[in-house]
Amino acid sequence: MKDIIAAALSGLCIVHCLATPILLLLGSSGLMLGVLSSEWFHYLMLLPISVLLAWSLPGGWCVHKHTAPFVLGLAGFLLLITSLFASHHAETALSLIGGGLLIGAHLYNRQLLLQAQGVQHAAHSA
């Protein structure tokens, strides 16, 4: 379940990255745009992403022993961190790629965990 929540949260990060420039292009202003484009909002989004990453992927590795989800998740997280220090144009691209990698990492981790549970369940049934 935590991988689904983490993937959804990374998806919200992608929506945020896409919505903010669109709102700016449409000439939107106000509180919502101010919140979405503020620096503290980016740090606030990274907090649960980092907690779920640290909670989910290493634990998944202990069960299924595949390093790919951890490597993908770490690469995605590092891209999100890098995006905080990048120029405005690079920030969006880095965030989109990083969020996509995190979604893929969590969904792959979930798939591997379900497969491992199926193997364990089959072994106990036999």
Orientation angle between helical segments 39-64 and 2-25, nearest 10 degrees: 150
Whether residue 121 is predicted with pLDDT greater than 70 in this model: the reply is no
Segments making up each domain of the chain, as ranges: 2-125
Q: Which residue has the higher pLDDT, 25 or 5?
A: 5
3-state SS of the chain: helix, strand, coil percent to 5? Answer: 90, 0, 10
7: number of Cβ within 10 Å:
22
Which has the higher per-residue pLDDT, 3 or 35?
3
Q: Among candidates 17, 15, 33, 35, which has minimal Cα distance to 84?
A: 17
Buried b vs exposed e over 32-44: b needs ≥16 C-beta within 10 Å? ebeebeeeeebee
Give tens-digit pLDDT for 32-60. 656 666 777 788 889 999 999 999 999 99
- The owner of tokens 């220090």 is 85
Length reported for the chain? 126
**Whole-structure pTM value:** 0.83
